[in-house]
Chains A and B, each alone.
Chain A
Amino acid sequence: MAPLAEFGYVGSAAGLFVALGLGIAFGFFLERGGLGNAVKLAGQFYLTDLTVFKVMFAAIVTAMLGLFWLAALGVVQLPLVFVPPTFVLPQLAGGVVFGVGFVVGGLCPGTSCVSASSGRLDGLAVLGGMVVGIVAFNEAFPLIAAFYGATPLGPLTIPQALGLPHGLMVAATVGAALLGFLAAERLERPAGAARG
């Protein structure tokens, strides 16, 4: 029965170990997918290498299908799964900061850790910038505290926001992912052919 913590199978300490194991696995597969390389990630923005899109969307679809079908089989209780609360404007601003950082640094937080752990200096530089950003955010927090909690919508999922049943949302997302993968392959092929 899951979520494991809600049913008392794991406590907070065991939960941290599970998170550590999942984080190591995630990092390993990011590295094996070549996502520790900023040049490969930059290809995303030039539409020449859409590995990031494919890896991330494949992970989303895998987790979504797993969660939906485990819930349908009665293994997972969906209402007990933690959903982080939505704050519209602060999260939009955070998305912009994240996007600018990704374009400038060539890496996102997860891939910068992967890149740094495999010894890349640009990965270490982005990781250092991230630490500076975390410290700056915490120091400036009293100034932005009001904005940080602005426009709260509580825990909100896309099916709830759109008024769509979960199953239809799952079907639509899988369809969008498969079409996206096909489009990505077509976009990548000419660029790959041009390179040689």
Chain B
Amino acid sequence: MRRVNAALGAAAAALGGLAGVLTLAGGRVAALDQPLPALVESHRVSALELAAWLRDRRPNLVILDVRPDSTAFEAFHLPRARHVPLADLRSVPPDSGATVVVYAAGGDLAARAWLVLRTLGHDAVRVAPDGVGDWLAAVLNPTLFTDATPEARQAFAAQAELSRYFGGLPRILPPGARLDSTTLLRSTLRRGCAF
């Protein structure tokens, strides 16, 4: 028994020591320390960027709504989105030519879906952690304050054009005014989506 214990202790020492040495040497083992937000940071896609892709008919674009609740998906989802909850992502076969966009309504759900898809062999995966909220605010209800700079007005003109394409309602508001979430949702549901 003592020999078995000594052998197990030696094995633990070897595996533990190797973990430390490989971590100091960098590479794959050191990459384990990257938290999820840091991993997805360079793979984010904004609602406006996604809207432009949809308007321009970007080929092989797959949009996945990974929220667990199908009722929330039926109430509102992004154009062309498919409802595939996190646990069902294995049913989406990897396609080397496709760009997959995963979104949720906040939290780290979409980032986790990003990591699951990357692990399953999807090459190009982009993530919109609060895709629902960003779409409602930036695409369907963009706002400009009356005291905005000329540069901001110019950018808003392009955003407003994109917004109208998807049935949005661009607004110009007095400085400091805010649209509450009920107003955003009501105006969104009234108009529906362009797809």
Give the interface of A toward B (CB within 8 A): 1, 5-8, 11, 61-62, 65, 68-69, 71-72, 74, 77-80, 159-160, 165-168, 170-175, 177-178, 181
Q: Is the interface of A mostly helix, strand, loop or mixed?
A: helix
Cα of A167 to Cα of B26 in the assembled complex, Å: 10
Partner of B28, one of A72, A78, A79, A174: A72
Q: Does B157 contact A (CB under 8 A)?
A: no
Cα of A177 to Cα of B36 in the assembled complex, Å: 29
| A5 surroundings in chain B (CB, below 8 A) | 87
Cα of A167 to Cα of B15 in the assembled complex, Å: 10
Whose C-beta in chain A lies nearest to the C-beta of B91?
Answer: A8
Cα of A74 to Cα of B119 in the assembled complex, Å: 8
Q: List 26 A-B contacts (CB under 8 A).
A: A1-B120, A5-B87, A7-B120, A8-B86, A8-B87, A11-B87, A61-B16, A65-B19, A72-B22, A74-B119, A77-B119, A79-B36, A79-B39, A159-B33, A166-B23, A167-B23, A168-B20, A171-B16, A171-B20, A171-B23, A172-B20, A174-B15, A175-B16, A177-B12, A178-B9, A178-B13
Cα of A85 to Cα of B19 in the assembled complex, Å: 26
Task: Identify which of residues 63-102 in chain B touch chain A, using a CB-to-CB cut-off of 8 Å.
Answer: 86-90
Cα of A168 to Cα of B22 in the assembled complex, Å: 9
Cα of A78 to Cα of B16 in the assembled complex, Å: 17
Cα of A160 to Cα of B37 in the assembled complex, Å: 14
Distance of A151 from chain B, by nearest CB (Å): 21
Distance of A163 from chain B, by nearest CB (Å): 10
Partner of B9, one of A1, A160, A173, A181: A181
| B30 surroundings in chain A (CB, below 8 A) | 165, 167
| A74 surroundings in chain B (CB, below 8 A) | 119
Q: Does B116 contact A (CB under 8 A)?
A: yes
What is the total of A-B residue contacts with beta carbons within 8 Å? 95
Distance of B22 from chain A, by nearest CB (Å): 6
Whose C-beta in chain A lies nearest to the C-beta of B118?
Answer: A77
Cα of A175 to Cα of B21 in the assembled complex, Å: 13
Cα of A79 to Cα of B120 in the assembled complex, Å: 15
| A11 surroundings in chain B (CB, below 8 A) | 87
Q: Does B35 contact A (CB under 8 A)?
A: yes
Q: Does B32 contact A (CB under 8 A)?
A: yes
Distance of A48 from chain B, by nearest CB (Å): 19
| A68 surroundings in chain B (CB, below 8 A) | 19, 32
| B15 surroundings in chain A (CB, below 8 A) | 65, 69, 174
A174-B12, A178-B13 are contacts. A7–B19 as well, Cβ < 8 Å? no
Whose C-beta in chain B lies nearest to the C-beta of A170?
Answer: B19
Question: Do A178 and B12 touch across chains, with their CB atoms under 8 A apart?
Answer: yes
Q: Does B115 contact A (CB under 8 A)?
A: yes
Q: Does B174 contact A (CB under 8 A)?
A: no
Cα of A115 to Cα of B120 in the assembled complex, Å: 44
Distance of A88 from chain B, by nearest CB (Å): 20
Distance of A124 from chain B, by nearest CB (Å): 32
Distance of B89 from chain A, by nearest CB (Å): 7
Q: Does B24 contact A (CB under 8 A)?
A: yes
Whose C-beta in chain A lies nearest to the C-beta of B108?
Answer: A79
Whose C-beta in chain A lies nearest to the C-beta of B37?
Answer: A79
Distance of B175 from chain A, by nearest CB (Å): 35
Distance of B69 from chain A, by nearest CB (Å): 15
